[in-house]
Structure 1
Amino acid sequence: MSKLITQLQFPDPDAAYVTLVEARRGLSMEASAELDTKLVLILANHIGDLDVLREAVALAKA
C-alpha cells in the first residue's frame, strides 16, 4: 500500500514551479546542486516518514 501522495497538491502549480526555477536564477551549477541537496533534506525531514521517503526515492529513480 502506497503512502506517497502523487496527486497534485498545489492550488497553483505554476507558481510552485516558478518558485523552484527562480531559486536557481543566477546560481552556478555547483550552488544549484547544493540548493537542491539542502531542499531535499529539509523536505525529507518535514515529511518525517522513512517509508514515504523510500517510495519517493524509488519513484524518482524509475
Structure 2
Amino acid sequence: MITTPHWQDADTFYEQLLDAQAGLSPDQLQAFSARLVLLLANQVGDAAVLAECIQAAREAA
C-alpha cells in the first residue's frame, strides 16, 4: 500500500471530485461514493493491498 503522496495532478482530481458531487442529495452522494470506491478498487485489483487500505481507513476513522 502506498502511503506517501502519489498524485499526478491532485488539484485537478480534487476539482473533478467536487464537481461530480455538486448538487447531489445525501443519498445520491453516498451512492456516488460507494460506486467510486468500487471502481477505484477494481483499478487496484490486488486483494492484499485493498485489505490494507480498508484497515488503514478504518483506523483513521
Give aligned-pair identity as a percent: 37
**Structure 1, unaligned runs of 5 or more:** none
Is 1:55 equivalent to 2:52 in the alignment? yes
Q: Distance in 2 between matches of 1:58 and 1:26?
A: 31
CA deviations 1:8-33 (Å, max 9, x no partner) are 12232122111111110011010011
- Paired position in structure 2 for 1:14: 11
TM-score of the superposed pair, with normalisation by structure 2: 0.86
TM-score (norm: length of structure 1): 0.85
Aligned to 1:23: 20
Number of residues of Structure 1 aligned to a counterpart in Structure 2: 59
Query: What is the aligned partner in structure 1 of residue 33 from structure 2?
Result: 36
